[in-house]
Amino acid sequence: MEFIIPGIIIVVLLIIVSNLHIVQQAHAFVVERLGTFRAVWQTGIHISFPFLDRIVKKVSLMEQVADFPPQPVITKDNVKMQIDTVVFYQITDCKLFTYGVQNPMAAIENLTATTLRNIIGELELDSTLTSRDLINTRMRAILDEATDPWGIKVNRVELKNIMPPKEIQEAMEKQMKAERERREQILRAEGEKNSAILVAEGRKQAMILEAEAKKEAAILQADAEREARIRKAEGEAAAILKVQEATAEGIRKINESQPGEGVLAIKSLETMEKMADGKATKIIVPSNLQSLAGLAVSASELLKSASPEAEN
């Protein structure tokens, strides 16, 4: 008897410990009692009733990713291709997830494949390749609505790869190559055009600068010639002024010396001699100068006759 009681206590403790459950963060346990849904255990410590309660499913409440294999689809223009999808989902109701569908993942995969075929069947090849966002949005809306009774929320659907047939890929590669060559030719033509425009603008600017330089040179030359003429005129004016000043000074000195009539007559004769050197053929001599002129001639002859005797 002394070993029975401790043994019973140990067995009771083992039963209690075995029925003690700890639910981790972002997880939940679905519990049945006698085959009937009893409760959903959230994060924390829970104790089940021995032999009556049973944990039927441990559910993760975190967002999960389902990567499904490529599915064959046919476009509106009868092009067969392979498309694989990625579905991001999260369990929001553990009871519905447990009892709503037999195999939730298989159900989501099949629903994704059929939905994808329906959407792609309404699009042509080019639209399929360029409308990923539209396809993703439509698939997410359809899957989210369809999986709501299963306690699943579809957050996002992405088309991972779109694989058209090999001959279509080759044709697309040739088309892309032709498009790249066309763009290259356009860029080369635009470059040559821009280069020609720049060269023409450079020549135009050079001609404008050359014309402006010639204009500036002509202006400078005209200014120099005008300055030279001004200086020449100023020099001539200064020379005339000097001559006039010298003449005036000579007249003033003559007046100061009070010359006699003989000197004046001789000066007049010198002036007449200079006048006779010109083209004039007739010279009018005043009457009062005639006697003086005769006297001057006689004096000149006496001087000439005297000069040989002096030489002898």
Mean pLDDT along residues 38-54: 87
For residues 200 and 197, what is the distance between their CA atoms, to the nearest angstrom?
5
* Same domain as 70, residue 54: no
Residues facing 41 on adjacent strands:
29
Contact of 88 with 156, CB cutoff 8 Å:
yes
Are 90 and 27 contained in the same domain?
A: no
Site of tokens 């991001």: 88
Is the full-model pTM beyond 0.75?
no
**Per-residue pLDDT averaged across 230-241, rounded?**
85
Please indicate, yes or no, if residue 190 is contained in any of the structural domains: yes
Residues 152 and 78 in one domain: yes
**How confident is the prediction for the chain on average, in pLDDT?**
80
Question: Is 281 a member of any domain?
Answer: no
94 shares its domain with 149:
yes
- The average pLDDT across 95-116 equals 90
pLDDT of residue 108: 92
pLDDT the model gives residue 260:
56
- Could you give the residue ranges of the DSSP H alpha helices within 62-165? 94-99, 104-120, 125-130, 132-147
- Residues 43-81 as b/e (b if ≥16 CB within 10 A, e otherwise) read eeebebeeeebeeeeebeeeeeebebeebebebeeebeb
- The CATH number for 141's domain is 3.30.479.30
- How high is the pLDDT of residue 302? 45
Do 15 and 38 belong together in one domain?
A: yes
Region 197-213 average pLDDT: 90
Q: Report CA-CA distances (Å) from 128 to 76, 78, 161, 166.
A: 10, 12, 12, 17
Whether residue 51 lies inside any domain: the answer is yes
Tell me, yes or no, whether 196 and 154 share the same domain. Answer: no
Q: Which residue has better confidence, 51 or 193?
A: 193
One domain for residues 73 and 152: yes
Q: Across residues 128-138, what is the average pLDDT?
A: 88
- Structure-token pair, residue 184: 């290259």
DSSP 76: T
**Mean pLDDT along residues 198-227:** 89
Out of 174, 197, 228, a domain closes at 228
Over residues 267-289, the pLDDT tens digits come to 555 555 555 555 555 555 555 54
Q: Which amino acid is at 76?
A: K
Tokens of 279: 């083209």
The 3-state DSSP class for residue 165 equals coil
Residues paired with residue 156 on neighbouring β-strands, in sequence order: 88
Mean pLDDT confidence for 27-34: 91
Task: With respect to residue 131, please indicate whether it lies within any of the assigned structural domains.
Answer: yes
Counting the structural domains of the chain, the total is 3
Instruction: Tell which residue, 22, 30, 157, has the closest CA to residue 93.
Output: 30
Residue with the bigger pLDDT between 201 and 284: it is 201
Q: What pLDDT score was predicted for residue 309?
A: 44
Residue 274 identity = K
26 Cβ neighbours under 8 A, 6+ residues apart: 43, 60, 61, 62
* Same domain? 80 vs 156: yes
- Tell me whether strands 80-91 and 152-163 are parallel, antiparallel or unpaired: antiparallel
Q: Range of 199's domain?
A: 166-228
- Establish if 261 belongs to a structural domain: no
Is 290 a domain residue? no
Whether 145 and 98 share a structural domain: yes
Q: What is the average per-residue pLDDT within 103-109?
A: 90
So what's the pLDDT on residue 308? 46
Average pLDDT over residues 134-149: 92
d(CA 85, CA 161): 7
Question: Is residue 260 assigned to a domain?
Answer: no
State whether 80 and 145 are in the same domain: yes
Domain boundary among the residues 208, 228, 248 is at: 228
pLDDT at 46 over 70: yes
CB within 8 Å of 256: residues ≥ 6 apart: none
Task: Give the tokens for residue 285.
Answer: 């001599």
Indicate whether 109 and 192 sit together in one domain: no
Asked, for residue 252, whether it belongs to a domain, the answer is no
At 274 the pLDDT is 56
Tell me what pLDDT residue 311 has: 44
Measured in whole angstroms, how far is the alpha carbon of residue 276 from the centre of its chain? Answer: 92
Q: What's the mean pLDDT in 125-143?
A: 88
pLDDT of 304 strictly over 60: no
What's the CA gap between 79 and 70, in Å, rounded?
16
